[in-house]
Amino acid sequence: MKYRIESKAQYQTFYNNSLEDREAYWSERAETYEWFKKWDKVQSGNFNELNVKWFEGGQTNITVNALDRHVKNHPNKTAILWEPNDPNGETKTFTYKELLEEVNRFANVLKDQGVQKGDRVCFYMSMVPELLTGVLACARIGAVHSVVFGGFSAKALAGRVIDCEAKVVVTNDQAYRGSKTIELKEITNEALKECASVKSVLCLRHTGAKVEMIEGRDLWLNDLLRSASTECDPEKMNSEDPLFILYTSGSTGKPKGLQHTTAGYMLWAAETFKNIFQMGDDDIYWCSADIGWITGHSYIAYGPLLNGNTQVMFEGIPTYPDSGRFWDVIEKYKVSHFYTAPTAIRALQACDIELVNRADLSSLKVLGTVGEPINVEAWTWYNEEIGKKKCPIVDTWWQTETGGIMISSLAGVTESIPCFATLPQPAIKPVLVDTDGREIQSNPAEGNLCIEFPWPGMARTIYGDHERYRQTYFSTYPGKYFTGDGAKRDADGNYRITGRVDDVVNISGHRIGTAEVEDAIDEHESIVESAVIGIPHEIKGEALMGFMIPTNKDANSKEILKKVNELITEEIGPIAKLDRAIIVPELPKTRSGKIMRRVLRKIASNELDSLGDTSTLLNPEIVDVIIEAMRSES
């Protein structure tokens, strides 16, 4: 495989070369992909003007590189092995040729609905094959996909559909989720009451449940796909044409629609996948993420297909029919490369080891983790019980904003170190800065993690709000991209990510902004004001805890927790529910009226000695009252 890094020395050479001449490095790699028209300029723009562009003047289509290119060379190679929620249900297999045909059918259906280049199409589906083919169909015709995770509420879906002004929404009647079903169509109907931009809803008949179809708006996707042509010419996309929008939470305000573009993202997803996972031709990859998150975009929908690899796509959950399902799936498909999140590892680690041991895991060669810092116990268990100490672990650090993996070891090529993401990918220059914005040059070091130069896979903007993009990522440390994460660097230059340093909490690997949750809670008629913080949680990594001022000072915290969680489920989705609620008469505030969440975090973790100087608070006396409220609640 051209330019795959295959030794530590080669990594060093490539890394050094890539930083010396980033344009030459990326130009060489870009040559190995298919283009309708070659680019004029490899890269232009910078972080100060925030006008970064890659491969300007070039034209390509990501599906040509992910599908047609492989259909030419190996049409009958398996692309997708789809495993349904029910282990006894019908599996589905798609060769590269079949996958291309399905994508083309879907692309023609979208065209028939009037979807044109640049239009936004929103997907609110479970992990059915049509989610994958639908996303790729958008890319085929130049429409912009915006996938909303099927666990979000009607309100959250509506917010995203409205923000990106989607023309079409695609959903299924219901989703299977373990022993439950989720009413995706019903939730979509509820959400779309508020969405004027939506012209049609395509609904996949999946569970067969009776659902309400709105005359003149809703159509059965299955029927349309069946009669659609399997041929569809790929749209010639300019390198910087948008490919997708994906919403993610930040420390303030509503979720942001990060926008990724065509050529740079394509190269980033493809090259990182190739170097980090090191797959052989006959290997089988499985990423257990949902396409509703960035991991499912870059490392299910795009990365593996761009490399012509075979992968498992899984509809179900790790605990159904029992907590051995992941390991059974690995055995069933002889998975060699498995990529999951620390929260899943911790949850399965807590189960009977017999569930692991009953499966034959000898096919495994490489293990990956993503989404949150992995604790040493989980890393060790993953290494020993799943990898049987023979599989390198790639701890991959990255973000929705970065488009693909930024810091990770390369499986079997560079060293895996427990709990360290380790080394940057070629052309990535991480820097640690102190709180005054000064770069820390020496090793070992600890600071806020920034990235120094533009890279091809970076998000180009927040859809409809470039100024917010600047403010959020480029204003804290001018000239640098600020990740929102803290990190340590050891004497050899390996990075260990310590977690978010802003008001973003990582619950089971899912990003939730505390401000978003507070906004939801504050809408409750019995709450005056609230402050939400993240607290450590054994399985989820972090959980949410809310400090709340009720209108009725005799309110009971258990009842408040229940009521507030119902509201959060409605406004955002069950993933943002609080684990604990503490009733307080006031919140600690600065003199300018800002809530001091830092003080609340210290109280919650019982680090009372390091509360710092609280005398500058507007209401210093409240600290003891809150400490007491915490004590009497526990």
Spatial separation of the C-alpha atoms in residues 468 and 95, rounded to whole Å: 42
Spatial separation of the C-alpha atoms in residues 19 and 17, rounded to whole Å: 5
Q: Closest CB to ligand WTA among 369 and 530?
A: 369
**Nearest-CA neighbor of 307 among 271, 265, 260, 268?**
271
Q: Buried b / exposed e across 264-300, counting CB within 10 Å, b at 16+?
A: bbbbbbbbbbbbbbbbeeebbbbbbbbbbbbbbbbbb
* Shortest CB 381 distance to ligand WTA, Å: 17
Q: Buried b / exposed e across 208-232, counting CB within 10 Å, b at 16+?
A: eeebeeeeeebbebeebbeebeeeb
Q: Closest CB to ligand WTA among 18 and 508?
A: 508
Q: Closest CB to ligand WTA among 314 and 398?
A: 398
Radius of gyration over every alpha carbon of the chain, rounded to an integer in angstroms: 24
User: Would you give the binding string for ligand WTA spanning residues 613-632, x where CB under 6 A is met?
Assistant: --------------------
Q: Which stretch binds ligand WTA (CB under 6 A): 174-182, 224-232, 269-277, 499-507?
A: 499-507
* Shortest CB 293 distance to ligand WTA, Å: 6
By CB atoms closer than 10 A (0-12, 13-18, 19+), residue 474 is middle
Q: Closest CB to ligand WTA among 84 and 499?
A: 499
Q: Closest CB to ligand WTA among 200 and 422?
A: 422
User: Would you give the binding string for ligand WTA spanning residues 370-409, x where CB under 6 A is met?
Assistant: xxxx---------------------xxxxxx---------
Q: Which stretch binds ligand WTA (CB under 6 A): 77-85, 424-432, 482-490, 565-573?
A: 482-490
Is the distance from CB of 290 to CB of 150 less than 8 angstroms?
yes
**DSSP symbol at 420:** B
**Nearest-CA neighbor of 500 among 248, 163, 244, 245?**
248
* Site of tokens 């509809």: 315
Spatial separation of the C-alpha atoms in residues 474 and 47, rounded to whole Å: 7
Q: Closest CB to ligand WTA among 400 and 565?
A: 400
Is the distance from CB of 392 to CB of 409 less than 8 angstroms?
yes
Preceding amide of 318 cis, omega within 30: no
Task: Give the residue, chosen from 318, 484, 541, 573, that forms a contact with ligand WTA under the rule CB under 6 A.
Answer: 484
135 binds ligand WTA (CB under 6 A): no
User: Would you give the binding string for ligand WTA spanning residues 264-303, x where CB under 6 A is met?
Assistant: -----------------------------xxx--------
* Shortest CB 509 distance to ligand WTA, Å: 7
Number of residues that bind ligand WTA (CB under 6 A): 23
Count of CB atoms situated within 10 Å of the CB of 357? 12
* Shortest CB 507 distance to ligand WTA, Å: 11
Q: For the chain, what is the largest distance between any 2 Cα atoms, rounded to a whole number of angstroms?
A: 72
Q: Closest CB to ligand WTA among 102 and 485?
A: 485
Q: Closest CB to ligand WTA among 109 and 157?
A: 157
Please tell me whether residue 353 adopts helix, strand or coil conformation.
coil
Task: Give the residue, chosen from 65, 126, 248, 311, that forms a contact with ligand WTA under the rule CB under 6 A.
Answer: 248
497 binds ligand WTA (CB under 6 A): yes
421 binds ligand WTA (CB under 6 A): yes
60 binds ligand WTA (CB under 6 A): no
Q: Closest CB to ligand WTA among 279 and 497?
A: 497
516 binds ligand WTA (CB under 6 A): no
Q: Which stretch binds ligand WTA (CB under 6 A): 385-393, 492-500, 563-571, 574-582?
A: 492-500
User: Would you give the binding string for ligand WTA spanning residues 328-357, x where CB under 6 A is met?
Assistant: ------------------------------
Q: Closest CB to ligand WTA among 130 and 485?
A: 485
**Nearest-CA neighbor of 459 among 449, 472, 476, 478?**
472
What are the Cα distances from residue 63, in Å, to 66, 263, 478, 548, 633? 5, 11, 36, 49, 55
485 binds ligand WTA (CB under 6 A): yes
Could you tell me how many residues make up the chain?
634
Query: Please, what is the end-to-end C-alpha distance for the chain in angstroms?
Result: 58
**Interacting residues toward ligand WTA by CB under 6 A:** 248, 293-295, 370-373, 395-400, 421, 483-485, 497, 499-500, 506, 511
